[in-house]
Amino acid sequence: MKIGFDHEKYLEEQSKYILERVNNYDKLYLEFGGKLLFDLHGKRVLPGFDENAKIKLLHKLKEKVEIIICVYAGDIERNKIRGDFGITYDIDVLRLIDDLRNYELDVNSVVITRYSGQPAATVFINKLERRGIKVYKHEATKGYPTDVDTIVSDEGYGKNPYIETTKPIVVVTAPGPGSGKLATCLSQLYHEYRKGKVAGYSKFETFPVWNVPLKHPLNIAYEAATADLKDVNMLDSFHFDAYNKVAVNYNRDIEMFPVIKRIIEKITGEDSVYKSPTDMGVNRVGFGIVDDEVVKEASRQEIIRRYFKTSCEYKKGYVDKETFQRVKLIMEELNLKPEDRKIVIAAREHSAKLKQIANKNEVCPVVAIELSDGTMLTGKSSNLMDGTAAVVLNAIKHFANISDEIHLISPVIIEPIINLKSKTLSSRNTALDCEEILMALSICAVTNPTAQLALEKLSMLKGCQAHSTTILSRNSEQTFRKLGIDVTCDAEYPSENLYYSN
Contact 338, 467 (CB under 8 A): no
Instruction: Report CA torsion sign: 214, 14, 292, 324.
Output: negative
SS (H, E, C) 411-445: HHHHHHHHHHHHHHCCCCCCCECHHHHHHHHHHHC
What ranges do the domains of the chain cover? 7-206, 212-245+290-340, 343-489
- Mapped onto helix, strand or coil, the DSSP state of residue 156 is coil
User: 83, 46, 345, 37: which is closest to 221 by C-alpha?
Assistant: 46
User: 164, 279, 200: which is closest to 24 by C-alpha?
Assistant: 200
Contact 187, 157 (CB under 8 A): yes
Contact 181, 172 (CB under 8 A): yes
Distance CA 438, CA 450 (A): 14
pLDDT tens string for the chain (502 positions)? Answer: 789 999 999 999 999 999 989 888 889 999 998 888 889 999 999 999 999 999 999 999 999 999 999 999 999 998 887 766 778 999 999 999 999 999 999 999 999 999 999 999 999 999 999 999 999 999 999 998 889 999 999 999 999 999 999 999 999 999 988 899 999 999 999 999 999 999 999 999 899 999 999 999 999 999 999 998 888 999 999 999 999 999 999 999 999 999 999 999 999 999 999 999 999 999 999 999 999 999 999 999 999 999 999 999 999 998 999 999 999 999 999 999 999 999 999 999 999 999 888 777 778 899 999 999 899 999 999 889 999 999 999 999 999 999 988 999 988 888 899 999 888 988 888 889 999 999 999 999 999 999 999 999 999 999 999 999 999 998 999 999 999 999 999 999 988 877 656 5
Please list, residue by residue across 80-96, b when 16 or more beta carbons sit within 10 angstroms of its beta carbon and e when fewer do: bbbeeeebbbbbbbbeb
Hey, what CATH topology would domain 212-245+290-340 get?
Answer: dip2346 fold (1.20.1570)
- Mapped onto helix, strand or coil, the DSSP state of residue 50 is coil
Q: How far, in whole angstroms, is CA 375 from its chain's centroid?
A: 28
Contact 364, 380 (CB under 8 A): yes
- H or E stretch covering 390: helix 387-399
Q: Which CATH architecture has domain 7-206?
A: Roll (3.10)
Could you give the C-alpha distances from 234 to 96, 223, 453, 471, in angstroms and in order? Answer: 32, 11, 52, 34
Q: Which CATH architecture has domain 343-489?
A: 3-Layer(aba) Sandwich (3.40)
Q: How many CA within 13 A on the CB side of residue 405?
A: 0
User: 300, 381, 358, 342: which is closest to 465 by C-alpha?
Assistant: 342
Could you give the C-alpha distances from 252 to 156, 204, 226, 230, in angstroms and in order? Answer: 22, 15, 12, 9
Could you give the C-alpha distances from 44 to 48, 211, 462, in angstroms and in order? Answer: 9, 19, 12
- Mapped onto helix, strand or coil, the DSSP state of residue 385 is strand
